[in-house]
Structure 1
Amino acid sequence: MTAVTVLDATALNRATLARQRLLARADISVPEAVAHLCGLQAQEPQEPFVGLWSRLARFDPAELDAALTGRAVVRTHLMRRTVHLVTADDALAWRSRHDAMLRQRATSAYRRELAGIDLDELAAAGRAVMADARARTMAELVAGVEDRWPGRPRRALGELLIAGLVPMAQLPPRGLWRVRAGVRNLPLATWLGRDVDPLPADADDPVGQRLVRRYLAAHGPAAPADLRAWCGLAGLPAAVKAVREELVSFRDARGRELLDLPDAPRPDPDTPAPVRFLPAFDNAILGYRDRGRIIDDAHLGLSVAGHRAVLVDGRVAATWTVREERLRVSPLRPLSPAEREAVHAEGRELAAFLDAGMEDVPVE
């Protein structure tokens, strides 16, 4: 019987950093990076710029702006019912596979307020309102349907339509560099000029199989529970089973089975990890159920509360923010002099990227 290799937290950390392009900045295009990462969480519109700056060599915000306005990438509700920045191809290919989850999560949030509403009828009404191909705010969309469901909370109707029932894109200028703009919605198919891919009636779940492979390429080695935590989909066992023979298997220090692509990078645990500044809600942290490979249990709440993280030796060791036009770093543990200098140096680079006037970076 062949012994299964055990990967400790450091080995998993270095694999994650390599997959996430956080060991060395990659010389690839913005759409290529967004595709490889399986999207970036983007409910805070400016955060993906920091996420890409930390991962790409010579990142220019104009490239992401061009990808958004050129419809190569799109902002839409997808994994975990959160707004993600994904490629147009992935948005169209993955949306139907996420439909049931999106609908369930949207309805569970407003179960009492929406009781008795036929969801298919509501979806049809929403599509009819949007049939003129005019972008609308959530309030404008609700105004077009609320007469049919008088007395229902407008926010419940709007969030169900936009985040659960009708595949929507959030249009630029929202999400452009240094632009503050409200959400204007248009059906994905209208904005991208192609219909959302239908969900194949196949018990082996081919869309799910592709999700498994893509997730492992960006996040592996990982357990099926980590995959579920990343995408929010519970019904992936058939997909995992179908691709299992393609994969290699490991164990973590707790004995959990971890799956991975055979040729994916798994660097030596002694590989140096540079300081990296992560945006709020980065999937390098949130893309797992067990986040111990990158963040200590004591700090788990920071990752879901929107705090921006600083990685030191590959792990969350500080948070950062911009206050009073200064980038400030707050360590979560004592930093050595060398670590403080590395944090300060990378912070100066980020400060220059965010605002050329921010030269000093206090490490408090």
Structure 2
Amino acid sequence: MTHEEISHRRLVSQKLYKTNTVSPQDIVYHMGAMQAQDYAMAKWAVGSRCTVAEKEIEEAINSGKIIRTHILRPTWHLVSAEDIYWMLDLSGPQVKRLFASTAKQHGYDDKKLDQINSVIQKLLTGNNHLTRDEIMQELNIQKSAGDLSPVIVMMNAELEGLVCSGKMKGKQITYALLEERVSKPKTKLTKEEALAKLALRYFESHGPATAADFSHWSGFSPTICKAAINAIKLQLNNIVIDNQEYWFGKDHTDLVNFCESVHFLPAFDEYLISYKNRESSILLDHQSKAFTKNGIFKPTILENGKVIGTWKRTIKKDHVTIETEFFDAVNLDAKESLFKEIKSFENYLGMKIVIT
């Protein structure tokens, strides 16, 4: 298997190879968790993998079928309601450990955070969905430069399984009680069962990928990740390339008749961000043009599994403008062929797109 074949297989496993007539929550469930700190781009990450419009993805989030919360690594993710509890039980403690020292530096120990959670629970009980600013106002926590109190308080409440994303209030994101959004399951997975489930979901939806890639995506140590892979290796295929062992799901029949494809992927898309080593998808010389060393990922243009440029959208009153920047020179005919693929984004937004 070559690096080109790896990128082709990743298109298949990430549901980017063909148009999928499935629901937004089905896409999120398949992917396990999708990074989502840029909310608008996170919705397009789902939309680029199925045929639904943005408003349908918004509805899936508003209805609680998809949850946006902090999970796995300490950043925002989209996760299906079906997975939220076991995934939170698994990754919540490790994320809390990562920001515990920051919380203490700002004067928040476990006792104080528990007291605040009790107040938040009373505020939100009865499907009362509030924005973070509204919650901070009720808690009498003033916004000030450099003060991470709002982040610490709400992330802790998420990781404790108290709150999650609520219904949008205009253009503002709200919080709601998790148990009022999603019923608690009657049984719990052991840590080993949950790790095995997470590993299987990752390699089936992101493979071919290495143990280091899984560690990068999940936030768990290489040792823990290798143990999880060992528990499920009979359910996966594997291959060694350049002394690296890659794991992937057994159902890759779409690859037999692989055809050319172009995608305009969102910022922070799983296609790049979920791997530690990205050279199968983007040349080393181009990586600094697509993402920064401190983790800022731009929207990218993908041709046959390879990143060939970046793009930027600007929403106007009655249309959306798209600016593109290609890494290498592209002739006019090739550009026009590439730009035909922006039609899916136009259908998703329900707005005319003008390429500048």
TM-score (normalizing by structure 2): 0.84
Contact 2:54 2:348 in 1 (8 A): no
Matched residues in 1 for 2:348 and 2:240: separation?
40
The whole-number CA distance in structure 1 between the counterparts of 2:79 and 2:103 is 27
Give the percent of matched residue pairs that are identical in Structure 1 and Structure 2.
20
The answer on whether the counterparts of 2:35 and 2:270 sit within 8 Å (CA) in structure 1 is yes
| 1:124–1:113 distance in 2 versus 1, CA, 3 Å | closer
2:130 and 2:4 map into 1 onto residues whose CA distance is 47
Count of residue correspondences: 337
Q: Which amino acid aligns with 1:250?
A: I
Please say if 1:180 is aligned against 2:152. no
Query: Are positions 1:170 and 2:165 aligned together?
Result: yes
Deviation at 1:27, TM superposition (A): 1.6
* 1:9 CA drift (Å): 1.0
Indicate whether 1:261 and 2:249 are aligned.
yes
Pairwise CA RMSD: 2.8
Residues 73 and 196 of structure 1: CA distance in aligned 2, closer, same or farther (over 3 Å): farther
Q: CA deviation at 1:160?
A: 4.7
Q: 2: distance between equivalents of 1:290 and 1:259?
A: 14
1:49 aligns with 2:17: no
Q: From the superposition, tell whether residues 196 and 105 of structure 1 become closer, same or farther in structure 2 (CA, over 3 Å).
A: farther
Aligned residue for 1:93? 86
Secondary structure at 2:82 match in 1:
helix
Aligned match of 2:309: 318
Tell me by how many angstroms 1:313 deviates. Answer: 2.3
Report the equivalent of 1:31.
25
Following superposition, the deviation at residue 109 of structure 1 comes to 4.7
Q: Report whether the alignment pairs 1:342 with 2:337.
A: yes
* Paired AA for residue 187 in structure 1: L
- Report the counterpart of residue 251 of structure 1 in structure 2: 240
CA distance, structure 1, for counterparts of residue 351 and residue 151 of structure 2: 42
Give the letter aligned to residue 74 of structure 1.
I
Deviation track 1:97-122 (CA, whole Å, cap 9, x = no partner) reads 001221023235556335xx532x24
TM-score (norm 1): 0.82
- Structure 2 alignment gaps of length 5 or more: 142-146
Separation in structure 2 between the aligned mates of residue 163 and residue 61 of structure 1, nearest angstrom = 25
Does the aligned pair in 2 maintain the 1:280–1:309 contact within 8 Å? yes
Residues 96, 197 of structure 1: CA spacing in aligned structure 2 closer, same or farther, 3 A cutoff? farther
Structure 1 position 287 matched with structure 2 position 280 = no
In structure 1, which of residues 286, 297, 300 is the aligned counterpart of residue 284 of structure 2?
Answer: 297
* CA deviation string 1:26-80 (max 9, x = no partner): 12122211111223322222113322332213x2233223322322111111132
Q: Contact 1:43 / 1:82 at 8 angstroms: preserved in 2?
A: yes
Structure 2 distance, partners of 1:315, 1:208, is 30
Contact 1:31 1:73 in 2 (8 A): yes
Greater mean alpha carbon deviation, residues 210-219 or residues 295-304: 295-304
Residues 237/349 of structure 1: CA separation in 2 closer, same or farther (3 Å cut): closer
347-356 vs 62-71, which deviates more? 347-356
Distance in 2 (alpha carbons) for counterparts of 1:260 and 1:352: 32
CA contact (8 A) 1:9 1:293 kept: yes
Partners of 1:241 and 1:306 in 2: how far apart? Answer: 32
Q: 1:28 to 1:97 in 2, by over 3 A?
A: same
Select between 274-283 and 43-52 the one with higher mean Cα deviation.
Answer: 43-52
Alignment of 1:65-214 (within 5 A): 65-109=58-102, 112-114=105-107, 117-119=108-110, 121-132=111-122, 133=125, 134-141=128-135, 154-155=149-150, 157-158=152-153, 160-162=155-157, 164-173=159-168, 180-181=171-172, 183-194=173-184, 198=188, 200=190, 205-214=192-201
Deviation at residue 326 of structure 1 after TM alignment: 1.2
Amino acid at match of 1:70: S
Deviation at 1:285, TM superposition (A): 0.8
Q: Residue 309 of structure 1 contacts residue 319 of structure 1 at CA under 8 Å; is this kept in 2?
A: yes
Which residue in 2 is equivalent to 1:12? 6
Pair 197,306 (structure 1): closer, same or farther in 2 beyond 3 Å: farther
Helix, strand or coil at the partner of 1:161: helix
- Take 2:72 and 2:284, find their aligned partners in 1: how far apart are those partners? 24
Alignment-derived partner of residue 225 in structure 2:
236
In structure 2, do the counterparts of structure 1 residues 224 and 113 end up closer, same or farther at CA, with 3 Å as the change threshold? same
Match status 1:308 vs 2:299: yes
Match of 1:22, as an amino acid? Answer: L
Residue 276 (structure 1) aligns with:
263
SS at match of 1:242: helix
How many Å apart are 1:275 and its aligned residue?
Answer: 0.8
Distance across 2 between alignment mates of 1:347 and 1:226: 30
SS at match of 1:28: coil
Post-superposition shift, 1:316?
1.0
- The Cα offsets for residues 126-180 of structure 1, whole Å up to 9 and x where unpaired, read as 3311232144444554566679xxxx86346425524544553121216xxxx52
Matched, 1:329 2:329: no
Q: Is the 8 A contact 2:71 2:159 kept in 1?
A: no
**Aligned in 2, Cα 1:126/1:299: closer, same or farther, shift over 3 Å?**
farther
State the one-letter code of the partner of 1:128. S
**Measured at CA, do residues 266 and 283 of structure 1 come closer, stay the same or move farther in structure 2, by a change above 3 Å?**
same
What CA distance in whole angstroms lies between the structure 1 residues aligned with 2:13 and 2:345?
A: 22
